[in-house]
Every structure is written in structure tokens, then in C-alpha cells.
Amino acid sequence: MSTKFTFEDIDKLTRNRYEAVLITAQRARQINSMRLAQLERMAEEDVIIDGRKVTSIAISDIASGKAKFRKTNSSTESE
């Protein structure tokens, strides 16, 4: 069973909620791109795709520290 994370967990890592939403959205787009690549490979090989929503995965990744981001003067950059 996995731990459930919320935006409040991410708020502790960022300056404000708006920044947390932007970081989470960027991570969700990265996950979605990886998922689309996996779907393209499904015809050739057995691929297991996580059935959770990409936003839920992104929140979990950021809150648990699996996905890192760094703060810059103008914006945040996801790694």
C-alpha cells in the first residue's frame, strides 16, 4: 500500500501553492510523455503501465523526493 500525498505536502517544499501547482503540472507532463512512449512500444513487447492518474503520480514523486526540482531566480526547473 502506498502513502497518499497531498498538495499540503508539496507546499512545504515550495514558496507558495501556485509554484507547487506549476511544478506538479510539469512533472505530470513528463510522466505523460513517458507513458505515451510506453504505449507505442506495447505492440512490440510486454509493457506494464501504471494505471494511476499522472497528476497523482506527480504529487507522490515530488512529495517523496523521487522527482527533484531546483529553485532559480525566475522560475523552478524540474529535473
The model carries a pTM of 0.73
Of 53, 18, 46, 62, whose CA–CA distance to 32 is shortest? 53
Q: What is the dihedral of CA 17, 18, 21, 27, to 10 degrees?
A: -110
Q: What is the pLDDT of residues 4-29, one digit of tens each?
A: 777 777 777 888 888 888 889 999 99
Task: Kindly list the domain boundaries of the chain, sorted by start residue.
Answer: 7-67
Q: What DSSP assignment string belongs to 9-78?
A: HHHTTSSSHHHHHHHHHHHHHHHHHHHHHHHHHTTTS------S-HHHHHHHHHHHTSS-EEE-SS-EEE
pLDDT in tens, 43-73: 777 878 788 899 999 988 888 888 877 777 6
